[in-house]
Structure 1
Amino acid sequence: MNKFAIRYAFLTLLIISTLALMPLSAQEEGAQDFCVEFMQLQQTALETCQDQADETLCIGSNTVEARLNNSILNIRQVGETAAIGTFDALSASPLAPNSGMWGIAVFSVWGNLPQDAPEPVQLVVYGGIELSIPPSNEIPEGYTAPMQAFNIRATHETACVGMPPGVFINVPDGQVADFLINGLRIKADAQIFIGLPADNSYLSVSRYGTSSGQ
């Protein structure tokens, strides 16, 4: 198992553990079972994208759209990739119980990691969410590397309590990566999940399952 696969396995376990720890009513128990079943969709998407090139976006499911200047780009096939810089916005559909769809996109970026870093940072986007990249003249110094600064907005309330829309950041062991997300400066040195409520009133920043809402 390679390093990316190990980190992806950690992500699956983190979400399942979060679900297991939450108090549930009898009515919600069936929904929890459904949510755990969706882990296979996540795992398939991550395995599909695990060999993507650096500084690219990989389409993890066919309910992801990339756009440039409000025009939808023709990169919607699962496993298809696009170079960062060829799009300025992305939308990923919410987890949908009826259709079995869930928008997942994977980015491979170097950000501000040193040249001798062993591997790039992985950003995993989970729908329903919209991600946009600010114009270069709006990005402050220190955050100008590709995908180092971006904004996210939830588009739907999640169908699973333990699986909110957001972005999961995987940083190589021993490295620190700086990001500017919705104007919030985030220093990531491990596995970090940035979640959003349906009303977009705050960002929830979780590290190894320990939440520190911002």
Structure 2
Amino acid sequence: MVVAIDGPAGVGKSSVAQWISERFGFFNLNSGAFYRAAAVKILDSGVDTLNEDAVVDAVKSAAFDIIDKRLYLDGTDVEERLRTPEVDKASSVFSSIVEIRHIINGHLRRIASTINLVAEGRDMTTVVFPDAAVKIYLDASVSVRAMRRFNQGSSSQTLGEIELSIRERDHRDRNKKEGSLLIADDAVVLDTSTLTLAQVYEKVTELIKAYL
């Protein structure tokens, strides 16, 4: 069973996905980790990173697996390598290559066919898992999302700067050539602007239990 969650930046997708994972015992699929692992493969292969064909071929040859809830690349646990600055920078570049997105999406679907999972992102309900059992689109106003991020205290930006950053991110996400942020026709839209996390969890629980 797949629970797919989409929504704009700062809306709480990661928190909700983690809660679903813990509440229902589903694997929390982080699609971004797969793009980071693909970057590890490309960097380790030594190919010319400016040669798109060579980069794509490197990813095509990679084997991705989930073992004990950890991501393995070509039989090796790479979880500890996914957050390095080098991999972070490389993954942001390579993830924009359409063919690489197709390859990674294929691996995500293969893994989803073997386990119950929750997946969150920008195109989980529309592109990656269009046949997901439960589709949720989380939303909230820009001002609310900015305030939530500001209140986390983890950013050196002012509230106004955070709001501007979110608006710019929304524009990019909604205008991507591949995997743009859209609301699936059969997704349940939850506007969390005036809801607490507990209230969001309650509504999500009802949706999942209705399917189980």
What TM-score does the superposition give when structure 2 sets the normalisation length?
0.31
Kindly indicate whether structure 1 or structure 2 has the higher relative contact order, using CA contacts under 8 Å at least 6 residues apart: 2
